[in-house]
Structure 1
Amino acid sequence: MVKHGAIARIGEGDVFIEVWPSESPEHIDDALTLTLAVDGDVHDEIGRYPSFQAARDAAQQYVDERDGELPGAC
């Protein structure tokens, strides 16, 4: 699979939560991968999800659990 760009990117400066099509899906519900990128590099794979809605909900929960701040943001 070739990645042409993130489906969604949320963040400020050089810190983003990104949703990508999953590479090497582990099962049929593994369609999208949610990652935290810092300075263009993947810092953390948050999880894999079956739909954009599920990935969006997980991203919101990830940010909410950190009081609205993304790790690595200055």
Structure 2
Amino acid sequence: MGISKPQLYRKISALTGRSPVSFICDIRLQKALSLLKENKYNISEIALEVGYNNPSYFSKCFNEKYGVNPSQIAI
């Protein structure tokens, strides 16, 4: 991208008001939510698709953000 890590951190923080890590996690979980609503894949496949290697950790993060388990949405 042509900028240093600290500069990238400052720019993302200024634009979003969040750290880059939390911003990326939110984007990944939004993608997971849309995949769950499509009902094409199971939860472990979606977890791997959005970058979580551990489906149980994915479920924990998803529950913290949306307040429901991914299995409740995938019904």
Counting strand residues as a fraction of each chain, which structure ranks higher?
Answer: 1
Give the structure with higher Rg (CA): 2
TM-score with structure 2 length normalisation? 0.28
The answer to which structure, 1 or 2, has the higher relative contact order (CA under 8 A, 6+ apart) is 1
